[in-house]
Structure 1
């Protein structure tokens, strides 16, 4: 495989960890070898630990990572504000083996190779035995994570085991089946989760793999395996396994929903974080996505009217339900507080003035400037700058697992295996209560009593959509639920807002962009052409050329 050739050189193996060490400074870059990284006289194992830390850097990112866009801009939840962004290829159905905006094949196999190299060499280093045990478990966790990132995009992929490949090795690996890949991932996680990884992470090691992370990954893998895309016969045992895996995380009693939804997403650490990819404090999300009429704000993301309409009203009902209190002439009043925490809408206070996305407003000026295509901007992940005059540095960690997802995973799997039992309700109530939905006279937070399994399924799907928006779930959820062929063949909608002379507004929903999804092939991505070209044993996914 091309990726193996690309990463077998030792320079790439240590490119992420060259430090200020004099030992490295005195070696020409082209002579830095794995023997310098895994050094038998490095009594503190500094270089080996830096190598492992560098492997963490290959974990996924979220923020504007695909040509300046969130992955969600390839779904019905948003558009890229910039014309011609490569993320549009997902929406217009123009991806191919040569045109693949989210091509992480090389990145993930690089991480796998780094993990394998670390595991093969760490015993050379005179580090304390207990540290090496934990580091090995971390490397195995990372390797399992990288494999899952591959399988959710491509299905079955080649499993390399512990092999560290070199130029002299046979590189024409065949693809393993998805079931074989899942079995491998789950066996690795099962081996390390209980005795080899720490139960909790101390402040100095925040962001490192832990038992909760391994168990959360297991729960997500099993949820995907049980979903309609990968479980067409609806084997209830698969749903039961997913249910228990999520319940196991809950039963750790190490995690809880944070009380403040906005603050929790910018926190350095909190009770809801299970596993994060740490980032330096910055203003990057605000600068990239803030409305364009402010001193700083590139307005890169345009959330859709489709997503806005999915948010509940304050009493937990959908906007179309009887008794919801929704007012189409004042559409943002008395809504689920998560709408205010996720979307910049017309009239919302930001940096001490109301956002103006009406036609001709400061944030929708028209002309050739990049600006919202839908009448909305992204607010999620930003600090509390409603009454500020400028941005300050914020925590924009990539929250790879948080407790709200586990509750939603549990509710979904339990509903599918056992129906809408009380524990399903309890999970959704906990999430809605934290969001600020009113309890109502029945303390059901808008959830209907005696819901059918099908009705509860729809409620859970929508709850995931609004709770986890822009956290790279919607793209994969639509695929694993086999909903993409219906949802992603509908236009992405926006709103045209006109300001009247009396200062009030009219709202007109319009089709902002068409969408195309070919169900015959697009549930899995095409294997990159470079891999097909260099490996005669690499079989392309059904429906794709090359």
Structure 2
């Protein structure tokens, strides 16, 4: 009891509405000091759970892959995202600024969960056996989530299932790392308990059994990929030799089977959002609806509680907001996941467009709902991206782009006020020319942007749309990938085509792993999956190998009263690389200093 009391005295709980399984947790602030008050009443347990949920490693709007889960003065910098180091977007990061991680080490949070698991059975007479069973299932889910956040960063980590007594001998507290295989097996087993013990539904702000199954489909897919693709000698060293990182290749299909089976558990319980016959608007609405039948697990925000985010303000140009600072922009390389845009003729000359919006004609609705193109509108204003004016234009697009800038015949300007014979040279929405931050690729992010917000309300820390942590489309993608890895093309094709029909895309007649991966990149764009997908597929060092990404720059041809689009290097001209050691992050130095049994560190650190 002494070790429990020490923990409780340190916990001053403010139960804020932050995590939801389709609803939000709404508990009054409470200070709790004794185990009996916490675990002896349902209200006390809920307050304790609120603190644990708030600490979950959900990579949301505010997550910074170089600094962690942001809460505080700089949590408005939502453009610092993992998309901007993978080529989905280009942004404030350069090179591979996030490869070494930020020292995630949530053992204080795991200690809270272990306390919950140890204490709850003592209060079965007060809470009831059924309630305690459900709460314990929830605790196992929460513990699995924390370990998932650790395993995908470090591989094998210490598996602690009991509350350590700080007064115990030091040697008993300095635990060793478990093998990576054992860590993933533990995560899977914990999620099984969550699924078995929790109810199908839960009250405000809580996981249910299907949330556990959805997370298992994600986690086991990750483990299977590590086993199959991590056997290549990316991580040679003592940690690999001891099995602390790496999973035997012959275990891959076991994990893929677990991922597939977990995904199947959600069939019939969730569905893709498909309420609007307008496919573009339907996909837009999906990310703004907290009550969507697709949402499995979401995180909510509130201006009143001070938890609001800044996605609208930091993904839009200042021209369309009260106070914006956009700094991360979709790349042409990302847009071309949907296929090459038709901007050149067969002879290589640029196609002529009567207006910028013509570029969007015939594009897949999901793409138009994910990215703002030149000519699109937001809050009554038009995205008028224009890199400059050509008095006249002849020749091919490739030849023009290959010229040195000072030999090209275009007219550029330093701001959005310069005119050429009465025509604006640079659009109000960019591209960037050295002044206020504007697009450097010719595109802006549309996904998650709330177009219904009046301009005057689009400011820092004023956005409340929920972050969807787990949704049914991801589960279908997990199912498809696992099925394909197991040689089950039929189930893979069925799952992918469900997504494509909702997206307004042409269905596939056949399927392969490359199509599935590309579908995943399109469907889960900007949702903080792609960075981890590249790492688990072990191809990040190939995709990001001295890589520079492109934008699509609109120009006005004055003599023709037409527009052309040229594929050019994005204006940041940043170079992206991925060191193979980044497939794992280093164990935090401070933890190594406190516990030498955490050695060997991960390879090449």
- With the shorter chain as reference, the TM-score category is 0.7 to 0.9
Equivalent in the alignment of 1:467: 523
Shift of residue 254 of structure 1? Answer: 0.6
Equivalent in the alignment of 2:22: none
Q: Is the 8 A contact 1:220 1:409 kept in 2?
A: yes
**Partner-residue secondary structure (3-state), 1:530:** helix
Match of 1:244 among 256, 261, 264: 261
**Partner-residue secondary structure (3-state), 1:495:** strand
Match of 1:361 among 420, 424, 427: 427
The answer to whether 1:218 aligns with 2:245 is no
The answer to whether 1:524 aligns with 2:584 is yes
> 2: CA distance between counterparts of 1:214 and 1:168?
34
Equivalent in the alignment of 1:57: 54
CA spacing shift, 1:231–1:411, aligned 2, 3 Å = farther
Equivalent in the alignment of 1:137: 137
Shift of residue 49 of structure 1? Answer: 1.5
Equivalent in the alignment of 2:534: 478
Q: Structure 1: 5+ residue runs without aligned partners?
A: 25-31, 440-444
Cα deviations by residue, 1:230-279 (Å, 9 ceiling, x for unpaired): 564584344333322222322xx111101122112111212111122233
> 2: CA distance between counterparts of 1:434 and 1:318?
24
User: Aligned residue pairs: how many?
Assistant: 488
Equivalent in the alignment of 2:595: 535
CA spacing shift, 1:123–1:169, aligned 2, 3 Å = farther
- Where in structure 2 are the equivalents of 1:16-31 lying within 5 Å? 16-17=14-15, 24=31
> 1: CA distance between counterparts of 2:158 and 2:326?
40
Q: Is the 8 A contact 1:277 1:399 kept in 2?
A: yes
The answer to whether 1:398 aligns with 2:463 is no
- Where in structure 2 are the equivalents of 1:137-536 lying within 5 Å? 137-166=137-166, 168=168, 170=170, 171-194=173-196, 196-201=197-202, 205-227=203-225, 228-229=229-230, 230=247, 232=249, 235-250=252-267, 253-259=268-274, 260-280=282-302, 284-296=310-322, 297-312=324-339, 331-359=359-387, 360-364=426-430, 366-385=433-452, 395-421=464-490, 423-437=491-505, 439=506, 445=507, 447=508, 449-450=509-510, 456-489=512-545, 490-501=547-558, 502=561, 504-511=563-570, 512-519=573-580, 521-536=581-596
> 1: CA distance between counterparts of 2:496 and 2:471?
15
Cα deviations by residue, 1:439-495 (Å, 9 ceiling, x for unpaired): 5xxxxx2x2x355xxxx1111000000100111110111111111111011223223
Q: Is the 8 A contact 2:371 2:447 kept in 1?
A: yes
Match of 1:74 among 85, 106, 122: 85
> 2: CA distance between counterparts of 1:432 and 1:473?
19
> 1: CA distance between counterparts of 2:526 and 2:443?
14
Shift of residue 420 of structure 1? Answer: 2.3
Shift of residue 515 of structure 1? Answer: 0.7
> 2: CA distance between counterparts of 1:130 and 1:120?
16
Q: Is the 8 A contact 1:79 1:301 kept in 2?
A: yes
Cα deviations by residue, 1:14-54 (Å, 9 ceiling, x for unpaired): 34449867x84xxxxxxx634475265xxx44233211111
- Of 287-296 and 470-479, more deviation after overlay is shown by 287-296
> 1: CA distance between counterparts of 2:566 and 2:204?
46
Q: Is the 8 A contact 1:93 1:515 kept in 2?
A: no
CA spacing shift, 1:13–1:344, aligned 2, 3 Å = same
CA spacing shift, 1:92–1:61, aligned 2, 3 Å = closer
> 1: CA distance between counterparts of 2:337 and 2:542?
16
> 1: CA distance between counterparts of 2:489 and 2:168?
56
Cα deviations by residue, 1:334-387 (Å, 9 ceiling, x for unpaired): 11112211112221111112113323221225334333332222111122449x
Q: Structure 2: 5+ residue runs without aligned partners?
A: 17-26, 68-76, 231-246, 275-281, 388-425
> 1: CA distance between counterparts of 2:527 and 2:284?
14
CA spacing shift, 1:131–1:233, aligned 2, 3 Å = closer
Equivalent in the alignment of 1:29: none
Larger Rg: 2
Shift of residue 432 of structure 1? Answer: 0.8
Shift of residue 419 of structure 1? Answer: 4.4
> 2: CA distance between counterparts of 1:150 and 1:39?
28
> 2: CA distance between counterparts of 1:182 and 1:219?
12
TM-score, scaled to structure 2: 0.73
> 2: CA distance between counterparts of 1:200 and 1:35?
27
TM-score, scaled to structure 1: 0.81
Q: Is the 8 A contact 1:56 1:277 kept in 2?
A: no
Q: Is the 8 A contact 2:450 2:465 kept in 1?
A: no
